[in-house]
């Protein structure tokens, strides 16, 4: 009797494991088919129509399906320095660098322009919050000076 019950439980477990494996495999194949269909749809929409796309659409087409490389380069300002022409923007330039670098295009000029856009805000007020459940001492170094702050158990 025990052997029958044990065999029955084992048989049910084996069937459930087999079905879950088959379902996972089928689900994965269906998802891959959906992704493939999405790429095919994108390729159909972009094929030969790069000139009618916005700069951002060209950049993402280049990233996704390696289309519109010449158009992305043509949309740059200053011979590949920044994007889009004539009003260069940091975000668009960074996206173009990512897409072009992914296809092996030299992006040194654009990277130099992007790094030159690093601006430090002036008249910025920093607020420092120190959390501790007990009394603590904190040292802050700023503009070549060192400041020591003592915080009591009452957090004052």
pLDDT (tens digit per residue) in 56-90: 999 999 999 999 999 999 999 988 899 998 899 99
Same domain, 107 and 56: yes
Is 129 within the bounds of a domain?
A: no
Q: What is the dihedral of CA 62, 66, 68, 73, to 10 degrees?
A: 70
Average pLDDT of span 94-102: 96
Is 87 within the bounds of a domain?
A: yes
Counting other chains too, the contacts that 2-11 makes at CB distance below 8 Å and 24 or more residues apart are: none
* pLDDT exceeds cutoff 70 at 130: yes
Print the domain residue range for 40.
1-46
Is 3 within the bounds of a domain?
A: yes
Same domain, 74 and 111: yes
Is 17 within the bounds of a domain?
A: yes
pTM metric for this prediction? 0.61
How far apart CA 101 and CA 80 sit, in angstroms, is 12
Average pLDDT of span 132-141: 88
Same domain, 96 and 42: no
Average pLDDT of span 112-141: 86
Is 65 within the bounds of a domain?
A: yes
Q: What is the pLDDT of residue 18?
A: 73
Interval 22-69: pLDDT, tens: 666 666 778 888 888 988 998 998 988 999 999 999 999 999 999 999
| pLDDT band per the 50, 70, 90 thresholds, residue 4 | confident
Is 15 within the bounds of a domain?
A: yes
Per the model's pLDDT, the better-predicted residue between 18 and 54 turns out to be: 54
The number of domains in the chain is 2
Per the model's pLDDT, the better-predicted residue between 69 and 151 turns out to be: 69
Same domain, 77 and 20: no
Check if the beta carbon of residue 84 is closer than 8 Å to that of residue 92: yes
């Amino acid at each position: 009797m025990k052997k029958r019950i044990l065999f029955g439980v084992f048989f049910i477990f084996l069937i459930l494991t087999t079905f879950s494996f088959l379902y996972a495999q089928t689900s994965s194949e269906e998802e891959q088919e959906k992704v493939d269909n999405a790429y095919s749809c994108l390729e159909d929409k972009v094929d030969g129509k790069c000139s009618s796309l916005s700069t951002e659409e060209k950049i993402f087409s280049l990233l996704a399906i390696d289309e519109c490389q010449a158009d992305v380069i043509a949309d740059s300002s200053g011979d590949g320095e920044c994007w889009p022409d004539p009003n260069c923007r940091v975000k668009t330039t960074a996206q173009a660098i990512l897409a072009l670098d992914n296809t092996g295009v030299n992006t040194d000029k654009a990277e130099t322009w992007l790094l030159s856009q690093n601006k430090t805000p002036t008249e910025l007020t920093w607020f420092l919050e120190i959390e501790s459940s007990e009394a603590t001492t904190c040292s802050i170094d700023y503009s070549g000076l060192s400041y020591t702050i003592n915080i009591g158990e009452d957090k004052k």
